[in-house]
Amino acid sequence: MKTKKSQVKMFETIAILVIFFFLVGIGFIFYSKIKQTSQSAESEEYFSTKAIELALLAEFMPEIRCSADIVTDIQNCIDIGKLDVLNNTGIIEENLNYYYNILGYSDIYVAEIYPNSGIVWRIYSNPKPANNFLGKVQTQIPVAIYDSISNKYSFGVLYADLYR
């Protein structure tokens, strides 16, 4: 009966090994799922950081900010004269390569809310091609739009749309 006994023992050993590797396999699958989730969270975090970077770059662009000689308190102040020039002359489109290195695939525009709602100035427009579009994230920054001729401030919003 020794042979049968040893066969039973071997079978037991094999069964334990099978269960062990089965558990290791489950653990590995579980770990890889968690890693996948963590990687997509990191990617989302990176994209969020890029969106903040873009918003700050847009807010502090010297091409639109109020000049310190004219306005002493220039915190989130935008000059309407500069907006008109950018919107009407297309200077940024002519230098798209330069601005692409700074702003990437994004849209930056300013909309007046009060007193005249509906006025929009397009500063930079470089959306991703339609066949490569994966969505976009918008950041809104309230700004004071200063008119140096009339010495008045309007309330506006600077929109920075970043494409994925």
Partner 1 sequence: MILYLTNTHSGFYMQIFTDKSKKSQMEIMGLVIIIILVSIGMLLTIQFVVKKQPEDIRKTFTHEQLAANTVYALLRTTTDCKDRSLASLIQDCSSNRPNGLINCREGKLSCEYAEDVISSVLNSTLEKWNKDYYFTIKSGTLSIIALGSQCPNAKTSSLPCCPIPTGIIAKLDICV
**Binding residues for partner 1, per CB under 8 A?**
9, 12-13, 16, 20, 23, 27, 30-31, 34, 41-42, 45, 48-49, 51-52, 55, 73, 75-77, 113-115, 117, 137, 139-144, 152-157
The residue (of 118 and 129) whose beta carbon lies closer to partner 1 is: 118
Distance CA 55, CA 157 (A): 12
- SS3 per-residue string spanning 81-113: HHHHHHHHHCHHHHCHHHHHHHHCCEEEEEEEE
Please report how close the Cβ of residue 137 comes to partner 1 at its closest, in angstroms: 7
> Tokens 């339609």 label which residue?
130
Please report how close the Cβ of residue 131 comes to partner 1 at its closest, in angstroms: 27
The residue (of 106 and 139) whose beta carbon lies closer to partner 1 is: 139
> Tokens 């900010």 label which residue?
65
Please report how close the Cβ of residue 133 comes to partner 1 at its closest, in angstroms: 20
The residue (of 132 and 152) whose beta carbon lies closer to partner 1 is: 152
- DSSP assignment of 11-58, as one string? HHHHHHHHHHHHHHHHHHHHHHHHHHHHHHHHHHHHHHHHHHHHHHHH
The residue (of 56 and 102) whose beta carbon lies closer to partner 1 is: 56
Distance CA 129, CA 62 (A): 28
Please report how close the Cβ of residue 10 comes to partner 1 at its closest, in angstroms: 12
The residue (of 11 and 98) whose beta carbon lies closer to partner 1 is: 11
The CA–CA distances, whole Å, from 75 to 117, 122, 145, 156 equal 22, 21, 11, 14
Please report how close the Cβ of residue 85 comes to partner 1 at its closest, in angstroms: 22
